[in-house]
Structure 1
Amino acid sequence: MTPHVAIAKWTLEDYHQMIAAGILSDRRVELLNGEIIELPPEGEPHAYYTSTVGNYLRTLLGNRAQISEGHPITIPATQSEPEPDIAVVQPLGREYLRHHPYPENVFWLIEFSNTSLKKDSDPKARAYAAAGIPDYWIVNLQTMELIIMRDPADGCYRSQNTLTEGTIAPIAFPDISISVRRLLD
């Protein structure tokens, strides 16, 4: 008979206490659905796209949104504090000294997946959908495709489209036209 293995789940409070105590200071991690997940080292393509697309979005959005690159968002409902590659959030200024952006502060999220597509398209997508984040985009760096996930309900996105060209407007900013090629080139 195989013994039952219990997985310890961490709360946001536990996670923040570990950070404050310096326990995680030498590790790149994020909290996802109560589990501490080690992040892979950031390769050159990942860093390039995050920076380039972040700058492109800043130009398009101006002061209408804040572009956060690789910083946490807090999802209390799922005990998660992931670090999306790009979070387009409300520009709340000093409010973010007290907390990371919550789901209601997030316009949309973008992940650049080179080796992390499985994690980005499953547990992360479920956490984002459960939080009601309306727009979640994954740039698959292996196939150079943009995966658009929308219409969150019951912990999943009911709409998913894959693009390689054309333009896309984020739900929060329907007047903004984003070039798919600019995200992929």
Structure 2
Amino acid sequence: MIAILDLPEVRQRVSPLTVEDYHRLGEFNENGKRTELIRGIVIEKMSKSPLHATIASRLFKLLLPLVPEGYTARKEEPLTLRDSEPEPDIAIVKGSDADFARSHPTTAALVVEVAVTSVELDRELALVYAEAGVEEYWIVLGNDCAVEVYRRPVNGVYQEKATILSGRELPCRSVPGVSVALEQLFA
């Protein structure tokens, strides 16, 4: 079955929102669901499976003590980008919490999305994050016990992509001192 947004005649009639317009909306849509803005389109956030929640929580706990001075870790908090305002599972940004009291970060050193049922969407987000200059992007493949790693954004495209399997160490090249033993993550 073809997705309705794949039809050119429908895509031309979609009314995209700017980030500024999106900020004027309420936190919840008319159905009481949380949303995020991706490429000018308001998308309802997906519910989280137990596997997704467990991996995201475990990874945040593993990363938090490793975050160096001058960086801050954020969990499920917005990044304000050119035409999107995603809420990644984890982001490590340069600066302190106080730096973002009046506006969300506009890029990150590291963004992590946990993908249990959303792998294709999270792979599409690689373009959004690369365009925003996110230095490193990880997609944690919960069902496969692996992590797709995207690095070196140039002109809106990551130049490096690798898949790291469980049992290996995953060093973050964009945040000094941050490294994750995937065996611990997928235990």
Tell me which interval the TM-score lies in, with the shorter structure as reference length: 0.7 to 0.9
The aligned residue for residue 157 of structure 1 is 158
Matched-pair contact (CA < 8 Å) for 1:148–1:161: yes
CA 1:98–1:143 in 2, change beyond 3 Å: closer, same or farther? same
For 1:91, the aligned partner's letter is G
> How many angstroms does 1:169 deviate by?
2.0
What stretches of structure 1 of length at least 5 have no aligned partner?
Answer: none
The aligned residue for residue 63 of structure 2 is 57
Q: What is the SS of the residue equivalent to 2:80?
A: coil
> How many angstroms does 1:45 deviate by?
1.3
2:126 & 2:183 partners in 1: Cα distance? 23
CA 1:24–1:75 in 2, change beyond 3 Å: closer, same or farther? farther
1:177 & 1:127 partners in 2: Cα distance? 24
CA 1:8–1:166 in 2, change beyond 3 Å: closer, same or farther? same
2:139 & 2:43 partners in 1: Cα distance? 19
2:9 to 4, 8, 14: 4
> How many angstroms does 1:44 deviate by?
1.2
CA 1:81–1:3 in 2, change beyond 3 Å: closer, same or farther? closer
1:3 & 1:120 partners in 2: Cα distance? 23
What stretches of structure 2 of length at least 5 have no aligned partner?
Answer: 1-6
1:23 & 1:110 partners in 2: Cα distance? 25
Matched-pair contact (CA < 8 Å) for 2:78–2:104: yes
- Which TM-score applies when normalising by structure 1? 0.87
Matched-pair contact (CA < 8 Å) for 1:134–1:151: yes
Q: What is the SS of the residue equivalent to 1:36?
A: strand
> How many angstroms does 1:49 deviate by?
1.3
* 1:78-131 CA distance string (max 9 Å, x none): x1100000001123232212011111xx11001100000000001x11100111
1:94 to 98, 107, 125: 98
Point out 4+ residue stretches in structure 1 off by more than 3 angstroms: 22-25, 174-177
The aligned residue for residue 83 of structure 1 is 87
Matched-pair contact (CA < 8 Å) for 2:138–2:147: yes
1:110 & 1:183 partners in 2: Cα distance? 13
Q: How many residue pairs align between the two structures? A: 178
RMSD, aligned α-carbons? 2.1
The aligned residue for residue 140 of structure 1 is 141
Matched-pair contact (CA < 8 Å) for 1:146–1:184: no
> How many angstroms does 1:61 deviate by?
2.1
Within a 5 Å distance, the mapping from 1:172-183 to structure 2 comes to: 172-183=174-185
Quick check: 170-179 or 53-62, which moved more?
Answer: 170-179
2:147 & 2:154 partners in 1: Cα distance? 21
Matched-pair contact (CA < 8 Å) for 1:19–1:25: no
CA 1:52–1:63 in 2, change beyond 3 Å: closer, same or farther? farther
> How many angstroms does 1:36 deviate by?
0.8
